């Protein structure tokens, strides 16, 4: 939640029209907001009949901060979990990533690219981020730049590139630690539609690392910026049977992200809001 005229407008309209307010909280960047903004958020957050947070850590953090409960609604993917794809031992290891990048991503991505390069693998990246940012990454010999793609083009481009693993990478910048502890990576739920195994590179305590530890067998996890740790994980991923087993684990864990289930949570929230408002 950040300063946003529509945020205040919705709360004002709700009060004026005596309508239930439903808040969907996707990001927590209040530590970047101007001083004095938090009391406004507190008032509106408490005003809401129902609050939907993108992760359990966010819901708990807001409960402690604002004193009211929230439901959890993970990001809704474009479709159900995809069938697990076959893995071939003769294929080179290609790790795919789709998303925006920032300064806190340079070290984990270069570590991953170096490890793949030593093993004859590749790192395929589709990102809207300017290529003037992180120049060392874009010029790395293991990196294949797929450009800025529309969401509906990402799956086809990664498959064409031969991706047989997908990566969720979170920032290691200290300034991002608060946000990434509570914000849930929407790419994690979307990746479930691909039918591929998951690699998570994220600092200890981040939402992606927490989810991976809560779901054993769903992904391989690299928490430390350690070449040795990363090399061991890449070595494991070079085995086709290991990749397939990992994809099956991700497929099972991702059933909670089924669009129909998430739609049900949203509809339950709306009904609850109307019920509470009616009292």
Question: Could you report the average pLDDT of every consecutive run of 10 residues in the chain (279 residues)?
Answer: 79 94 87 78 94 94 95 95 95 96 95 97 97 96 96 95 97 88 92 97 94 96 96 97 97 95 96 81
Residue owning tokens 């509906």: 152
Torsion of Cα atoms, 233 then 92 then 79 then 188, to 10°: 20
At residue 178, the pLDDT reads: 82
The backbone torsions φ and ψ at residue 105, rounded to the nearest 5 degrees and listed phi first, read: -100, -15
At residue 276, the pLDDT reads: 81
At residue 53, the pLDDT reads: 96
Q: How far apart are CA 87 and CA 241, in angstroms?
A: 7
At residue 246, the pLDDT reads: 98
CB 219 within 8 A of CB 188: no
CB 94 within 8 A of CB 165: yes
DSSP string, 8-20: HHHHHHHHHHT--
Residue owning tokens 């205040």: 8
Q: Which of 248, 246, 242, 239 is nearest to 89 (CA)?
A: 239
In sign, the C-alpha dihedral spanning 180, 202, 260, 98 is positive
Q: Which of 144, 148, 146, 136 is nearest to 111 (CA)?
A: 136
């Amino acid at each position: 939640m950040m300063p946003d005229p529509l945020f205040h407008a919705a709360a004002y309209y709700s009060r004026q029209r005596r309508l239930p307010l439903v808040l969907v909280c996707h990001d927590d960047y209040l530590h970047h907001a101007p001083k004095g903004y938090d009391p406004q958020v507190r008032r509106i957050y408490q005003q809401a009949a129902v609050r939907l947070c993108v992760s359990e850590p966010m819901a708990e953090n807001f409960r402690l901060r604002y004193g009211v409960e929230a439901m959890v609604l993970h990001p809704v993917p474009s479709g159900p979990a995809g069938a697990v794809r076959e893995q071939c031992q003769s294929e080179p290891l290609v790790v795919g990533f789709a998303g925006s990048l920032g300064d806190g991503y340079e070290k984990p991505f270069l570590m991953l690219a170096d490890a793949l390069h030593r093993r004859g693998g590749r790192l395929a990246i589709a990102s809207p981020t300017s290529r003037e940012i992180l120049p060392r990454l874009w010029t790395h010999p293991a990196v294949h730049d797929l450009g800025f793609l529309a969401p509906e083009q990402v799956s086809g481009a990664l498959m064409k590139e031969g991706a047989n693993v997908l990566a969720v990478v979170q920032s290691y910048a200290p300034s991002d630690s608060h946000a990434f502890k509570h914000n849930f990576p929407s790419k994690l739920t979307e990746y479930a539609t691909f039918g591929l195994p998951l690699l998570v590179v994220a600092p200890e305590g981040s939402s992606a690392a927490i989810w991976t530890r809560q779901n054993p067998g769903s992904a391989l996890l690299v928490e430390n910026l350690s070449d040795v740790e990363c090399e061991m994980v890449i070595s494991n991923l070079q085995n086709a049977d290991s990749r397939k087993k990992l994809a099956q684990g991700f497929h099972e864990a991702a059933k909670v992200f089924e669009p129909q289930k998430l739609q049900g949570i949203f509809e339950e929230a709306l009904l609850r809001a109307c019920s509470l408002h009616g009292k």
